[in-house]
Structure 1
Amino acid sequence: MSVGYGPVRALRRVSLDVPDGTVVAVLGGNGAGKSTLLRAVSRTLSFQGGALTSGDIHFEGTRVDGLAPDRVVAAGISQVPEGRRVFARMTVADNLRAGALGSTGTRAAKADALRRVHELFPVLAERGTQRAGLLSGGEQQMLAVGRALMASPRLLLLDEPSLGLAPLMAARIADTIREINAQGTSVLLVEQNAALALRLASRAYVLDVGEVALSGPADELAASDEVRRRYLGVVDEDAAADAPRGLGALPTLPRWEAGR
């Protein structure tokens, strides 16, 4: 698919696949198009003035790029936006109830979803009557994830879940993502913390200026010198010296080779 914001092309012929039951990571620098990708899937591009200009999106065999956002949620896709975006003046319990509004499940199914959220995040049960805006950053992230899970999605879109969190809280969120996936929910994870993302994912894509510049199994990308230097902060002088001779052995980004 390709996506534009007016005359600005944000994504150019991007193709990716999220196999059922997996965690797939999307890496890239600021402005690479990662959040735009998730908005295209969740059909929330229009809220930021964007639009799908070509291509299509299929979920479980059904085309979803023509659906309204609430119909995408009903189809089984929920997004946790960057920056948490909880309803600050509403209580924790009301935030969770809001997450179930797009669900087509029965009352019993929604009660089961709430139990699941409380099991994953006991603090949300303890603070159900507290205003969401008074929670810590980590607790707000838990609430944002819990709110998305209230619709019982089969595909969860996570946009920078570790952003602004202390390392210990980021690790807790990572453990929760593993648990959510182990319970059968597929995850499309956008994350600037590449080390964290590659540990969680089975496959990863690297976006560079709106295009897929690199993709493959997460462990292979983690071993790539280009990915290690640009995203993992690993500087190996011997590897850097040998890089020109090893370009054929591991996947590389042509534009990076050219110094762009």
Structure 2
Amino acid sequence: MAAVSASLEVRALSVGYGPVRALRAISVEVPAGAVVAVLGGNGAGKSTLLRAISRTLPFHRGAVSAGTVAFDGRPLDGMSPAQVVAAGVVQVPEGRQVFARMSVADNLRAGALGARGGRKEGAAALARVHELFPVLADRARQRAGLLSGGEQQMLALGRALMARPKLLLLDEPSLGLAPMMAARIAATITEINSRGTSVLLVEQNAALALRLASSAYVLDVGEVALSGPADVLAASDEVRRRYLGVVDETAAADVPRARTEAPALSRWPA
């Protein structure tokens, strides 16, 4: 059964950790049914953005100082993390964070706690997870900590899907994975999205993220430096140089022509 997606709107959001300002009046939108990527270097504020949306900032001693977050037309401000999950927004944290001493099956059951729907919906969600990740069915009784890194990422995704999300917040899903496993996780994200679940993808692998997304934002020291369609950003000399590791000497030497021919990207006003 396809998920019912809904749009996310982040408006002029500022976040701090004590005296340290991590985000400065950023605005991000995830249309219903879309995959939107957030790129940027370490310390750019990518994970902080996801924590602000999922309302888990207090666990990291952070706080929203200004701005709003709304999902499906409902403000998430003031909600608890459990209420955000019940509203259909589920985060897969960086580093997978599975319950290592619990079995695979119990990890998946934990993901269903507080989810929308009843037993029938829960059984359908489990069947969907096992369809996407057959290895989780095969190793249902095994301790999660004994799985490989790639299998743990599958489990983290599966646990999130048990909550029947309308929007998935993915924080570095390819981190630490071999290229073949990263490609498999990417294909799974595409499959999840094709069934109607919106995705906000934070990813340092910019090439992978821009292939998956329809649009993207580039964060730089807590601010939106660039935003636009993913294919336009992928063709941007600045993005190619800073995030894709591509040095195009011809394009660099022909700046006037590049400026006239390349599609315009939106920059955040100062």
Q: How many residues align?
A: 255
Name 2:46's counterpart in structure 1: 34
Note the 1:1-260 alignment, pairs <5 A.
Answer: 1-243=13-255, 246-247=258-259, 249-251=262-264
Shift of 1:243: 3.0
Shift of 1:172: 0.1
SS in structure 2 of the partner of residue 70 of structure 1: helix
Percent identity at matched positions? 76
Name 1:258's counterpart in structure 2: none
SS in structure 2 of the partner of residue 17 of structure 1: strand
Shift of 1:26: 0.2
TM-score where L is the length of structure 1: 0.95
Shift of 1:252: 6.5
Cα deviations by residue, 1:133-192 (Å, 9 ceiling, x for unpaired): 000000000000000000000000000000000000000000000000000000000000
Greater strand share, structure number? 2
Code of the residue aligned with 2:78 in structure 1: it is G
Cα deviations by residue, 1:34-92 (Å, 9 ceiling, x for unpaired): 00000000000000000111011000000012100000000000000000000000000
Which sections of structure 2, spanning at least 5 residues, go unmatched?
1-12
- Assess if the C-alpha contact under 8 Å between 2:232 and 2:265 holds in 1: no
Code of the residue aligned with 1:133 in structure 2: it is G
> What value does the CA root-mean-square deviation take over the aligned residues?
1.4
Code of the residue aligned with 2:222 in structure 1: it is G
Which sections of structure 1, spanning at least 5 residues, go unmatched?
256-260
Moved over 2 A (4+): 243-255
User: 2 CA distance for matches of 1:70 and 1:43?
Assistant: 9
Shift of 1:239: 1.1
User: 2 CA distance for matches of 1:94 and 1:170?
Assistant: 25
User: 2 CA distance for matches of 1:31 and 1:244?
Assistant: 32
User: 2 CA distance for matches of 1:160 and 1:244?
Assistant: 36
User: 2 CA distance for matches of 1:165 and 1:37?
Assistant: 23
